[in-house]
Chain A
Amino acid sequence: MKKKYICFSLFTTSFLYGVSQVTLNPYGIKRISKSNIELVYSQYIGDGDHSAITGGLGTEKLIVYEPEVIINRPIDSLSGYWMDAGIDVITSASMDNIDFVKSSASRVSKRGYIIPGYNTKLKKHRNIIIGGNGYFSIESAYRSLGGALSIDYVSKDKSSEFSAEFQAFFDDLRWGLLNGERPLRLVYPSELRYKEWFSNYKRNSYNLNLSFTQTINEKMILAFFPGISFQQGLLSTPYHRVYFTDSTERVEKLPDKRWLIPLGVQLNTFIADRYILSLYYRFYHDNFGITAHTIEADLTVKISSRFSLTPTFRFYTQRGSPYFKPYFELNPDQPFYTSNYALSSFNSYETGIDTRLAVPAKQKAKLYFDTIWLRYSYYKRTDGLYGHILTLVLDMISDKNNSKKH
C-alpha cells in the first residue's frame, strides 16, 4: 500500500514543481490556445479453440469494443497536461465457462480506465522534458493502480534523443471490484472452489523503458528500445483450468516472480519522395523460459500531400515456456503448469492496411478535424487463433483564439 502512495506522491510533486516554474517566471513563455483531441474507436473480433479457461481446449470467441478519448492540452510553450480515458466492452464466450453456465452475468464485462498526465520542459534546460502520469483501470476481476515518471533529453541540434520512463502498477485480481459483489475474493472455476488455491491476490509490475533515437541523415532515423520489467505476486490467472495426464484437474500455477527483458530496434527511412519504409525488430526473453522475435515492416505510400496508404506486415515467433502443456498432457509432478497457449511455442502473422487523411484546417473554426485514420488488420496464430482488428481515429484541434474572433 505504501508503494502506491510513494508513486502518487512522486507524480504530484513533479506536477506541482512544473506548475510553480511556470507561475514564478513567465519570461519567454508563450500561451498556447490549441488543444488536441483524439477520439478513438477500436473493435476486435476473434475466435480460436484453445481457451485457457477450459484447460487449453474450447472456444476463445471474443468481441471487444473500445471507445476512447485522449486530450492533450498545452498550458504554454513549456508545459501541458493530457488525459486518456475509455471504456472497453468485452463479450467473451470463454469467460462464460468459468462456471459453465451459459449466458451468465460474466459473459459481457466492462473495463474502465483513466490516465491523467503532465509534462514540462525545464525552464533553464528546455531540451529536457520531465513528465508523470497516474493510471487507474478497473474491470470485474482486475483493478490496476499505478503511474509513471519520465525524462526526455533532446540534443541541441535535435539529432539525438534519449528518454527513460519508469512505470509501476499495483494490481488486485479479486472478483467483485466493478459489480460491487461482496466479499471480494479470487474466483476459481466452479468445480474447483472447494479450496483456496492462492493466498495472495496482488500483482505488482515495475517497468523501465529506455529509448535512444538517432537521426542518421535527412531521410533516415534509427531508434533502440532496451527495457527491463519485473512482476511479483499472483502471476497465475485463478480461473485458468489445467488437466493432468492422471485425469486430475487443478488451477494454473506459475512462479510468483517474473523478469522480462525486451530489446527493440526501429529504422524509418524515406525511399524516394513518396515511400516511407518502417522496419522494427524486437528480441524478448523472460525467466518463464519464453524467447521471442518480432519483425514488423510498414510501407507508407503518399498518394497525395494529404492522403496516404500504409500496408503493414508483422511476423512473430515464440519458443514457449516449459510450464506449458496442452489439454490433459501436463505432468502432475511439475512444480508449475499452465495450458495457456499464449505461453506455448507458436508463430503469428498480422497483415493490414492504414489509411490516413489530413483534413485542411478551417481558419475560423473553434473545433475542426485535423486527421482521420482508419486501420484494418487480420491476425493469425499458428495454433488456429485469429482476429480482425478495426480502428478509427478522429484527430481534432480545438483553438480558443479562433472562437474569440467570432
Chain B
Amino acid sequence: MKLNSRNLITVIFISFGSCRTVKPYQRAYLNDNAMQINKKNIDKLSSDMHSYKEGASGGGRGKSSGGCGCN
C-alpha cells in the first residue's frame, strides 16, 4: 500500500474511532514510564546528534535550534 495523505487520514480516523474511555483504575499500564510519549532526557544527546549530522529536525523529536554543531 502506497503511503499517501488519504491512507494516513484513514488510519487516523480508524485509530480514533476505536478509542475507549479508560477509567482511572485502568490506567496502570498507561502510567508506566516506558509508555510515556514525552521525550526523555536520556534521549537528548542522541537527538541533538541527529540534528547536527542529518538534514532533518523537529516532529516531536530533535533539536530545532539553539546551538551550532557545525564541526
B67: chain A residues at CB < 8 Å are 111, 113, 137, 139, 142, 144
Please, which residue of chain A has its CB at the minimum distance from the CB of B11? A265
**A342→B65 contact, CB < 8 A:** no
In the bound complex, how far is the Cα of B32 from the Cα of A90, in angstroms?
36
Q: Given the known A-B contacts A169-B66, A348-B53, are A227 and B29 also in contact in the complex, defined by CB atoms under 8 Å?
A: no
Of residues 8 through 60 on chain B, the ones whose CB sits less than 8 Å from some CB of chain A are 12, 15-16, 18-22, 24, 26-30, 32-37, 40-42, 44-46, 49-50, 52-60
A286 at the interface (CB under 8 A from B): yes
A229 at the interface (CB under 8 A from B): yes
Q: Given the known A-B contacts A139-B67, A227-B59, A284-B59, are A389 and B46 also in contact in the complex, defined by CB atoms under 8 Å?
A: yes
Query: What count of chain B residues pass the 8 Å CB interface test?
Result: 45
A321 at the interface (CB under 8 A from B): yes
CB distance from B42 to the nearest CB of A (A): 5
B60: chain A residues at CB < 8 Å are 209, 211, 223, 225, 227, 262, 264, 266, 280, 282
Q: In this complex, which of A53, A62, A135, A342 has the most chain B Cβ atoms within 10 angstroms of its Cβ? A: A342
**B35→A276 contact, CB < 8 A:** yes
CB distance from B37 to the nearest CB of A (A): 5
B64 at the interface (CB under 8 A from A): yes
**A262→B56 contact, CB < 8 A:** yes
Of residues 352 through 389 on chain A, the ones whose CB sits less than 8 Å from some CB of chain B are 354, 356, 371, 373, 375, 377, 379, 381, 385, 387, 389
Please, which residue of chain B has its CB at the minimum distance from the CB of A144? B66
CB distance from B6 to the nearest CB of A (A): 15
**A237→B29 contact, CB < 8 A:** no
In the bound complex, how far is the Cα of B34 from the Cα of A402, in angstroms?
29
A241 at the interface (CB under 8 A from B): no
Selecting from A4-12, A25-33, A191-199, A212-220, the interface stretch reads A212-220
Contact of B46 among A95, A141, A391 (CB under 8 A): A391
Nearest first, the 10 A-B pairs at minimum CB distance are A225-B60, A262-B59, A264-B59, A262-B58, A284-B56, A264-B60, A205-B65, A42-B45, A142-B68, A92-B71
Given contacts A113-B67, A215-B22, 15 further A-B contacts (CB under 8 A): A139-B68, A141-B68, A169-B65, A207-B64, A211-B60, A224-B12, A225-B61, A237-B68, A262-B57, A264-B59, A276-B32, A290-B56, A308-B34, A318-B55, A342-B54
Q: What would be 12 A-B contacts, judged by CB atoms less than 8 Å apart?
A: A44-B49, A142-B67, A144-B67, A157-B21, A157-B22, A218-B30, A264-B61, A292-B54, A321-B55, A342-B54, A342-B55, A389-B45
